[in-house]
Structure 1
Amino acid sequence: MMAEHIRIGDVAPRVQYLGDGSRVAFTYPFPIFQAAELELRLDGVVLAGGFTVSGAGNSEGGTVTLATPPASGSTVTLRRRIRVERSTDFQDNGVLRARTLNDELDRLVAALQEQQEELSAALRQDPAEVGGNFILPLRGARANRMLGFDGTGELVVLPRDSGLISAPFPGAVPHTVEDKLAEQLSARDFGASGNGVTDDGPALQAAMNAAGASGKTLLIGEGSYRTTQPLTLPGAAAGLTMRGSIVYAGPGGQPALTIGDGGTARNASKRHSGLTVLRGTQADWENDNDIGILLRNHDASIIEVRRVEGFSIGVRTLGDGRGFEDCTLVLGRIVNNRIGPDVHTATAGAWNTSIRYHGGHFAVGSSVHVDKDRFGIRLSAAPGAYVAHNRHVFDGQNFELNAEGRPISGIPFLCEVNSRAIIARGLRMEGCSGFVARHTGAAQDHVYEVAWASQGYAVEIEHTLAATRLGGVVQALHQAAPHREATREVASVPSLRAAAIRWNATETGFEKLACLSSNVSGSPATLHDFVFPALDSFTLTNRGVMMTGGRALGFIVDARLCRDFALSVDADAPRMIVMCFDGVNNLLTDSLGPLVLASGQSMVWNPTARWWQGAADMTDAGLSRLQAVRLSPAVATAVIGVARIGADYELRALRLNCDPRHAPAVMYGLPDLRLGVRDLVAEQAWDPPSIAAGASAQTNVPVPGARPGDFVQAAYSLSTSGVVFLAQIGAQDVVTVTAWNRSGAAVDLNAGTVRVRVVKA
């Protein structure tokens, strides 16, 4: 008897391990009564010796120790096998001890657990069904036949060549079981194991040859199929369906899986799905012939690539005979390849054109070849081959190339050919270089739409010295999408320096712009109280103006019909501001709630300045330099511009756009809003006295804003008959007009109107 009573818990009496070539000790978590009750199987074969068992009699199980470690990848199975026999007997009128009874019950429970575990793996009827005959016919009756089920679900045996199998729908034609099973070939029919250890290369190639010979689709089922030889699916095969993966452990410098034929073959109307090829070891990226999947000369086919990993080139679509065209490729994870898909031609007579590429996650691990360039998609050609790769469409690709901040290139598109009309839409760039594409030839008419980039909207096309065409355009939507839609220019000051106006001795203004202050004195309440034609504290530079001292510049716009605007700025670190007024030009405050929304940042109310301002400076680092603005319906007039909030900065240009459905007015130079204009005009009635020969007469015309040093002109509304009108600014806001009689006789002009024009310097 055992010293301590064993306890049989709810633990399955079987456990399995995978050998690693060095491990010899394997634990079992279920109890056994004797060491002989522990069965050990190595790759399914029961071992009679060569191991020791410890822990018999322990409720928690014990350990099996082998004399020799199982090979790497081998299966080690431990299970309890109790002999079902009665080895004890209770005596009539004898003492019934609890320990003895417990030991017998424990053995019964242990045996029942073993039966339950075996029954769980057996083919059996669902508990919801009652009745039915599932007894096998005698050996002679079932020999060389197929098991099946009749119309009531009862077990039957069928001749292999009978026509008793048909689909249970009207019009279905019966055919043999062998024909039914042969509708699709399976790699397992040719000996492929899919266990990740066995070399399945010969079996896979035999299956692919059979698919080509029969014109059928080949199924590579679940599992990991290791191969030490390159594989080729002939073009005559209808297609390839993969649910498992091919692990290539063969020689480098050649494709792991080739699909389709070369020459004049037209591999048309194919359907390949779930293609997954993994390299057993990471390629060194030195050989462009180290390819995961090579697709040759396909036409009008649908191809789904689920995963390709570890090659120099993940997938190559190749025209090397008739050409590659008019196909749809659905891409999955294409990772740790120097180049993801390579759109390639190998001969002068073969093309590669009009392909649709959907999706694809092109990524490189942070520790993979950190000193080597990598590209998402390449368009290329062999020397002398066809180079007009036209009208490819790429939809929704995701690039994570791990090159940002490193002295290497990580660029989504590498174009080495003279392609046209390459359209890439909805791209995502994470950790890439600052270029969406590199062009090295005569490519043109490419359109790259970047939906998101860690570089924001600062994404361009890189043209190398060998490029001979302007390759295309970048449509950067990230932080710029509202600007793409705001296509009507409302107002523009392309050079703040050229637009500067010296209003008086200290104040500076700018054409089309209102000057604002962050602290207006008195009790301002209307638009006219807050906007000025000029203010001091603006310091002009060679290229623009330094924004200092709480100053702001902005466009005044009519917002009654158009409420969506887009502001773009050329400045170092500007801060956007928006001031709002109602239909009679009264200031609107935050008492009405948020009146302004921006595209790239929050807008906060500044109670001192009485305007809404961005929560941060508009800098490239913050990805907010391009800002779209939406105004509340309560806003009738708005001032949209930039201000100096935290630090001085140089402002060089301002542009305002809007929804092309509208053309809102920009308010400047109006009779009651004399700001934003360089030309000042005024007139007044004057009846000059009689002017003697060589003499003159003068009159003063008030011109608010005129200052000494401005350019000034004068004219009279009537014929002057030898009298010349001169103008000068002798004092601020006043133009002195002189009528000089240059004739030899006195002249007495009739009453008329004297007009003056001042051009601000």
Structure 2
Amino acid sequence: MAEHIRIGDIAPRAHYAADGAQTIFVFPFPIFEEGDLEVRLDGMVQSEGFTIQGVGQSAGGAVLFGVPPAAGRQVLLRRMMVIERITDFQSNGVLRARTLNDELDRQVASLQDVREELRGAVCADPGDVPASLVLPLREGRANRLLAFDSVGAVTTVSRDPLLLAPFGGAIPRTVEDKLSERLSARDFGAAGNGIADDGPALQAAMNAAAASGKHLEIGEGTHRTTIPLMLPGAAAGLTMRGSILYAGPAGETALTLGDGAAVRNQAKTYHGLRVLRATLSDWLDERDIGIAMRNLDACQVEIRQVEGFTIGVRTMGVELGFEDSTLVLGRFVNNRIGLDIHTATAAAWNNSIRYIGGHFANSSATHPAMDRFGVRFSCAPGAYNRHNAHVFLGPGFELQRQGSPGTVAAIPFLLQAGDERGIVARSVRMEQCSPYVARHAGGANDCLYEVSYVGTYAFTGAGIDYTVAATRAGGTVMPLHQATAAQGSPRLVAAAENLRRRAFRQTIDSPEGVGFEQMAVLSGNPSGPPANLAGFAFAGLSQFVLNADTIGIPTSRGLAFVVDASRCKEFFIAAEGTELRPVVMQFDAAEKVLDHASPALFSNMNAAWAGGPSFFWEGNADLDSLVGGIGINNLQRVTLHGNARFAAIGVRGGTAGATLKALRLYCSSLHAPALIYGGSRKWGVREYGVTDTGWAVPALAPGESATRDVTLPGVRQGDFVQASFAKAEGYQSGGVVFHASIGGTASADQVRVTAHNISGGSIAVGAGTLFVRAVKPRI
């Protein structure tokens, strides 16, 4: 025997949001016949296009649509039984249990339907003191507002009642005046259900906020819009408790704050901004922007979320500047450029902004073949490009570089406006990014990136990528690892504290040559020109002026330290003197000179390529030249090209009257590059030596002498030379003395050693080792 239907305590309605594919929708309550179930789509009753299963089942059944309802449509299934009784039990008839159960089941189901309807009605609380809730007669309530009196009974009041705040000094105000204090988008019909098009309602609310100078509130929920929205600058501000879901055309800005009037959007508050794109942008059109903020000045902005755009947020100086504001950043997800700091005209600017927080992230499946950046500094052609004083505190980047090693650029900061100054980022976190914290594509200067954590490449990988268009090495990275304190203590590579005391006579390369200890002399016009380091680094040249305490250095001469740059590419040069121009020469691993295809960069000035025959990269200004009355050129970073393995870094004369007192070279404490001079190199040393083991001194009679000519590369007339002799065994009598003099069979690279018996008897010296030393005289 089939089990009789059971009526459980289940609400007789079920709601669904269609996804465009689902055709079966379950109802968990029983019905007695198909007519008991009401089917609605977006509130409209449906009579066809579906079938009903499960009639008479205690657990309910399902509605099967022939065509799935479109995505986003609301599906409502509810039981609506006809309340009637058209049959009776027969007098003295058989009262069957099934018949009685059917009648009782229908009564219970009808009562459940009534209870469900009453849940949507206004009623008094069960614990309330009884009060009259009967409406006044029609004539008494016409053109009046429903209200409650002092005992809670229903009454009516004028449509313009006065309100009074319960504090001393308060004045009566109308309801309309009170409600107009703060505008709500719901006052204009915004539903916030994620389905209805709230665009017209939101724009009407924004226009009203501008017309009244009020602050607009967009309440909870998802506000879908098919049109771009713009809040004019005349509005006092905006608070969002929900979100805007942009489902409009591509190539538009979903939400613009500020209408572009030539006035400042000053001292405004924009709180809780949350804008999402209904479908992911193709990342190709930079007009596809989530939030654009125009001409803000001294404003407070909180951005909770922006997702799915080519550019998530763009701050813009257009007619005037964007400045002196604080932005609290939330989640920037699946945007090709999370935050774009931009100027549109030459009359605008974008300066002095504080950014707090921010999480810039992409999913691994989002446009895996396209580059992406967290923060970009940009400008329109011809627009103001010196964005300055932007400070970021604690931003995090998880940009998905796609593979290991990365196949696309996934870099936190991109500086391509051209002349950015003072960009500072503190406590940066990097995960799944490229091994660069920033890319510089212009003349950015005085930029500092403090990296707290790198999840992929460790701290030494958080460098700066200088593109071929970069004109300055204007960035410094401070990775906070286990040697944090050392980051503020640069390593001294080489120091010439008193150049004048280092000068010595050096005639290897020039008859009137002057050399300098530990340093190479460079020429602005070497003959040939040479092809490698040995040809370009001279031991000494003429035309230097040796003053009492300084060196006069002409424009055609340079003094440089030669360093091994295999690992270290960043150096800092400090010079004392006048009218000095920084210069750099670079060489590859085979010591072949590098040309203009491998540019070097300076930090506070542009690097100019001098071309052949000097192959100098040099600054476009002197180190002591002033910029706005300030000597910032004295602070000079040198960044070598990645191809460089050796480099000569120093100065030349900027004018004919240039003087040099001292020169120092520093690098990061992470490196200890070798200083290259002496040994097999001809430059930077005063002392030369050679050992000769092939001389067997013959027996010498009293007063007799023997000579031997020794080759000593680098020795010249005027050098101080000495010789000594040692035997492997036995005692060498002091009766034989060894003298050395320049000369021999050739005037250069030759030393003649004379063994002279000054004793009164014959001496047999024999074979031994001859040591010859030459020292260039100081001048």
> What band does the TM-score fall into relative to the shorter chain?
0.5 to 0.7
CA distance in 2, matches of 1:60, 1:73: 27
* Cα contact 1:393–1:424 (8 A) shared by 2: yes
Q: Which residue number corresponds to residue 469 of structure 1?
A: 472
Q: Is the 8 A contact 2:489 2:669 kept in 1?
A: no
Q: Among residues 173, 177, 189, which one is paired with 1:191 in the alignment?
A: 189
Task: Assess, with a 3 A threshold, how the Cα gap between structure 1 residues 149 and 428 changes in structure 2: closer, same or farther.
Answer: farther
Change over 3 Å in CA distance of 1:186–1:99 after alignment to 2: same
**Corresponding letter in the other structure for 2:484:** R
- CA separation in 1, counterparts of 2:414 and 2:144? 59
Deviation at 1:31, TM superposition (A): 0.6
Aligned AA for 2:106? R
Cα distance in 2 between the residues matched to 1:215 and 1:239:
9
**Structure 1 stretch displaced more, 336-345 or 28-37:** 28-37
SS in 1 for 2:176: helix
Give how far 1:3 is off: 6.0
- Shift of residue 22 of structure 1? 6.0
Rounded Cα–Cα distance in structure 2 between residues aligned with 1:656 and 1:450 = 18
Counting only pairs closer than 5 Å after superposition, residues 71-470 of structure 1 correspond to structure 2 as: 71-87=70-86, 89=88, 96-126=95-125, 129-148=128-147, 156-163=155-162, 165-403=163-401, 405-417=405-417, 418-454=419-455, 455-457=457-459, 458-470=461-473
1: distance between equivalents of 2:301 and 2:60? 52
Shift of 1:471: 1.8
Q: TM-score, normalised by structure 2?
A: 0.60
Residue 424 of structure 1 aligns to which amino acid in structure 2?
A: A
The alignment partner of 2:483 has SS state of helix
Following superposition, the deviation at residue 727 of structure 1 comes to 12
> What is the CA-CA distance between 1:38 and the residue it aligns to?
1.5
In structure 2, what residue type is equivalent to 1:371? A
Cα separation, partners in 2 of 1:328 and 1:143, compared to 1, 3 Å: farther
SS at match of 1:232: strand
- How far, CA to CA, are the matches of 1:487 and 1:51 in structure 2? 72
Establish whether residue 12 from structure 1 lines up as the match of residue 15 from structure 2.
no
1:354 Cα offset (Å): 0.9
Instruction: State the distance in 1 between where 2:353 and 2:488 align.
Output: 35
Q: 1:286 to 1:490 in 2, by over 3 A?
A: closer
Q: Distance in 2 between matches of 1:196 and 1:471?
A: 47
Question: Equivalent residue of 2:422, what SS?
Answer: coil
The worse-fitting range, judged by mean Cα deviation, of 3-12 and 455-464 is 3-12
Contact residue 490 and residue 669 of structure 2 kept, 8 A: no
Question: Which residue identity does 1:475 align to in structure 2?
Answer: M
Q: Report the counterpart of residue 560 of structure 1 in structure 2.
A: none
1:529-553 deviation per Cα after TM superposition (whole angstroms, max 9, x unaligned): xxxxxxxxxxxxxx9xxxxxxxxxx
C-alpha contact 1:493 1:655 (8 A) present in aligned 2: no
Partner SS for 2:388: coil
Does the CA-based 8 Å contact 2:735-2:758 persist in structure 1?
no
* Separation (CA, whole Å) in 1 of partners of 2:21 and 2:736: 119
Partner of 1:55: 54
Once the two structures are superposed, the pairs formed by residues 479-490 of structure 1 within 5 Å of their partners are: 480=481, 482-485=482-485
SS at match of 1:474: strand
Any conservation in 1 of the 2:436–2:462 contact (CA below 8 Å)?
yes
Secondary structure of 1:354's partner?
A: strand
In the aligned structure 2, how far is the partner of 1:737 from the partner of 1:121? 123
Match for 2:443: what amino acid? A
Q: List gaps (5 residues or longer) in structure 2.
A: 495-563, 565-667, 673-701, 704-723, 738-756, 761-779
Q: 1:364 to 1:89 in 2, by over 3 A?
A: same
CA–CA separation in structure 2 for the residues paired with 1:162 and 1:745: 135
Q: What letter matches 1:441 in structure 2?
A: G
| CA drift at 1:370 | 1.1
Change (3 A) 1:240 1:491: closer
SS class of match (1:160): coil
Mapped partners of 2:157, 2:671: distance in 1: 81
Question: Hey, what's the Cα distance between the residues in 2 that align with 1:328 and 1:156?
Answer: 51
Question: Letter of the aligned partner of 1:435 in structure 2?
Answer: Y
Distance 1:740 1:58, change over 3 A: farther
Q: 1:10 deviation in Å?
A: 2.7
CA–CA separation in structure 2 for the residues paired with 1:130 and 1:85: 35
Q: Which amino acid aligns with 1:12?
A: A
> Taking structure 1 as reference, are residues 413 and 84 closer, same or farther at Cα in structure 2, changes over 3 Å only?
same
Root-mean-square deviation (CA), in Å?
Answer: 3.8
Amino acid aligned to 1:463: Y
> CA 1:368/1:450 → structure 2, altered by over 3 Å: closer, same or farther?
same
CA contact (8 A) 2:145 2:159 kept: yes
Report SS of the residue matched to 1:393. Answer: strand
Question: CA shift at 1:412, angstroms?
Answer: 0.2
Distance 1:227 1:334 in 2: 20
Alpha-carbon distance, 1:181 to partner: 1.9
For 2:733 and 2:92, how far apart are their aligned partners in 1? 149
User: How far apart are the structure 1 equivalents of 2:314 and 2:493?
Assistant: 50
SS of corresponding position for 1:326: strand
Identify the residue that residue 42 of structure 1 maps to in structure 2. 41
Residue type matched to 2:433 in 1? C
- Residues 15-54 of structure 1: per-residue CA shift (max 9 Å, x gap): 1223455655433221112222212223223345565433
Q: Does the 8 Å CA contact 1:490/1:656 hold for their aligned counterparts?
A: no
Q: Evaluate the alpha carbon distance shift between residue 436 and residue 33 of structure 1 in structure 2; reply closer, same or farther with a 3 A threshold.
A: same
One-letter code of the match for 1:434? P
CA distance in 1, matches of 2:430, 2:123: 53
Structure 1 Cα separation of the partners of residues 309 and 487 of structure 2:
44
Q: What displacement does 1:357 show?
A: 1.2
In the aligned structure 2, how far is the partner of 1:488 from the partner of 1:37? 80
SS at match of 2:224: strand
SS in structure 1 at match of 2:293:
strand
| Percent identity for Structure 1 against Structure 2 | 56
Deviation sequence 1:100-153 (CA, Å, 0-9, x none): 443333233323322333333334445554445544444444444444556666
Q: Where does residue 757 of structure 1 map in the other structure?
A: none
In structure 1, stretches of 5+ residues that fail to align are 495-542, 544-652, 658-692, 695-725, 747-761
| Secondary structure in structure 1 of the residue aligned to 2:113 | helix
Tell whether the 8 Å contact from 1:489 to 1:655 is kept in structure 2 after alignment. Answer: no
Q: What per-residue deviation string (whole Å, max 9, x for no partner) do you get for residues 634-667 of structure 1?
A: xxxxxxxxxxxxxxxxxxx99999xxxxxxxxxx
Partner SS state of residue 294, structure 1:
strand
2:56 maps to amino acid: G
Report if aligned partners of 2:299, 2:326 keep a CA contact under 8 Å in 1.
Answer: yes
User: Which stretch shifts more, 412-421 or 142-151?
Assistant: 142-151
SS in 2 for 1:392: strand
AA aligned opposite 1:29: P
What letter matches 2:332 in structure 1?
Answer: I
Distance across 1 between alignment mates of 2:728 and 2:165: 106
Q: How far did residue 266 of structure 1 move? A: 0.5
SS in 2 for 1:422: strand
Partners in 2 of 1:131 and 1:233 — Cα distance?
Answer: 49
Taking the aligned partners of 1:21 and 1:654, their CA distance within structure 2 comes to 61
Q: Say whether the 8 Å CA contact 1:492–1:655 is kept in structure 2.
A: no
